[in-house]
Amino acid sequence: MTVPSTAQEIHLASRPQGFPTPGDFDLVQAPVTPPGDGQVLVRNLVMSVDPYMRGRMSDAKSYVAPYEVGKALEGGAIGEVVASGAPGFAVGDHVLHGLGWREYATVDAAQAVKVDPERAPLNAYLGVLGMPGLTAYAGLVDVAGLKEGDTVFVSGAAGAVGQVAGQVARLRGASRVIGSAGTDAKVAYLRDELGFDAAFNYRDAPVAEQLAAAAPDGIDVFFDNVGGDHLEAAIASFTVHGRAALCGAISVYNATTPPPGPRNLGLAVGKRLTLRGFLVWDHEHLREQFVREVGGWVADGRLRYTETVTEGGLAKAPEAFLGMLRGENTGKALVTF
């Protein structure tokens, strides 16, 4: 195929104040750079939009460098190699890499991973078999120390990570799995399609009340994607020696003033709780085990997943990102080119 001299990228136009707006993004034409030694040129086919990207749009100190204003955003993407300067990568290979938000990406081969579209759909490598899936698996297995018979609560359970976390808990022997979501349709998805024992719409009534009703004997493990009132509710419902894997706190990502901490944190002392934050890349040692176990469940149909795919190319990426922040997606949010 003929490679164009320029292609589209999405740049960060300004740092959002509160909830991002379309004006915080710029769609620009940028030069397409041929690959040098040890690099590949990739034509992106599908990209991911994820909650963590909101944090990188701010310049507050964090675990990862912020995006730069006036430069292209970054994130997970899968594309086809159209030119290669790296041994082991041929034109036509499909690769997973971190330079999404652009039509063409010049990627260091060390930062590209070949994926096989014959083993699984390409989208799955950005979702259930990719970063979100490994996050769910590591959070339960490594961080929360899930044990057979545990009662597990997953907040934001219909999202990319949550949908996998709840099913992994069930398939690994949890006695009861409870999830929260923001619409009745998502609640039905959790119960009827994914096999959650109970689920509730957090907009219907206080989370603490609904969780206490769903888990009258308390919870042993909490997988948190939401923070805020969900974390406070979990602390109230924890059994002694309860364990929380703190994955995210999307409820406060757009806050313009520091949110209050859980008002009942003092309960952590008497209950001897473990509240542990984690980042997925600290658990890379689990990848082979994850692919084997979760990949097997996906292949035999025991673990199901859904995706919200925005079509129409790169220009639709900001809209898809904003929709994901508003909770409009079920499962993994993706953009196809």
CATH code, domain with 44: 3.90.180.10
Q: Tell me if 297 is assigned to some domain.
A: no
Other C-beta atoms lying within 10 Å of the C-beta of residue 265: 13
pLDDT score recorded for residue 260:
80
- CB–CB of 331/132 below 8 Å? no
Q: Tell me if 288 is assigned to some domain.
A: no
Do 207 and 115 belong together in one domain? no
pLDDT score recorded for residue 88:
96
Do 217 and 172 belong together in one domain? yes
Q: What angle do CA 152, 268, 238 make, to 5 degrees?
A: 25
pLDDT tens for the 337 residues of the chain, in order: 789 999 999 999 999 999 999 999 999 999 999 999 999 999 999 999 999 999 999 998 888 899 999 999 999 999 999 999 999 999 999 999 999 999 999 999 999 999 999 999 999 999 999 999 999 999 999 999 999 999 999 999 999 999 999 999 999 999 999 999 999 999 999 999 999 999 999 999 999 999 999 999 999 999 999 999 999 999 999 999 999 999 999 998 998 888 888 999 999 999 999 999 999 999 999 999 999 999 999 999 999 999 999 999 999 999 999 999 999 999 999 999 9
Do 160 and 233 belong together in one domain? yes
Whole-model pTM? Answer: 0.94
Q: Which residues are within 8 A (CB) of 17 and not within 5 positions of it... i.e. 6 or more apart?
A: 256
Compute the distance between CA of residue 280 and CA of residue 283 in angstroms, rounded to an integer: 6
Tell which phi-psi region holds residue 178, choosing left (phi > 0), alpha (psi between -120 and 50) or beta.
beta
- CB–CB of 288/52 below 8 Å? no
Do 86 and 146 belong together in one domain? no
DSSP-H helix ranges across the chain: 52-56, 131-138, 162-171, 184-188, 207-214, 229-237, 267-270, 287-299, 317-325
Do 166 and 99 belong together in one domain? no
Q: Which domain holds residue 251?
A: 131-282
Do 275 and 139 belong together in one domain? yes
Q: Which residues are within 8 A (CB) of 296 and not within 5 positions of it... i.e. 6 or more apart?
A: none
Compute the distance between CA of residue 247 and CA of residue 226 in angstroms, rounded to an integer: 8
Burial of 169 (0-12, 13-18, 19+ CB in 10 A): buried
Do 108 and 181 belong together in one domain? no
Q: Tell me if 141 is assigned to some domain.
A: yes
pLDDT score recorded for residue 60:
85
What count of residues does the chain have? Answer: 337
Q: Based on C-alpha coordinates, what's the Rg of the chain?
A: 20
Compute the distance between CA of residue 153 and CA of residue 151 in angstroms, rounded to an integer: 7
The DSSP symbol for 233 reads H
pLDDT score recorded for residue 266:
96
- CB–CB of 140/245 below 8 Å? yes
Compute the distance between CA of residue 113 and CA of residue 102 in angstroms, rounded to an integer: 18
Counted domains in the chain: 2
Cα separations in angstroms, 330 against 25, 48, 174, 222: 24, 14, 23, 20
pLDDT score recorded for residue 37:
97
Compute the distance between CA of residue 66 and CA of residue 58 in angstroms, rounded to an integer: 6
Do 74 and 212 belong together in one domain? no
Q: Which residues are within 8 A (CB) of 291 and not within 5 positions of it... i.e. 6 or more apart?
A: 129
Q: Tell me if 294 is assigned to some domain.
A: no
Q: What residue type is 95 in one-letter code?
A: V
Do 104 and 135 belong together in one domain? no
Other C-beta atoms lying within 10 Å of the C-beta of residue 134: 22
Q: Tell me if 289 is assigned to some domain.
A: no
Secondary-structure breakdown of the chain: helix, strand, coil percentages, each rounded to the nearest 5: 30, 30, 40
CATH number for the domain spanning 260: value is 3.40.50.720
Nearest to 43 by CA among 75, 12, 2: 2
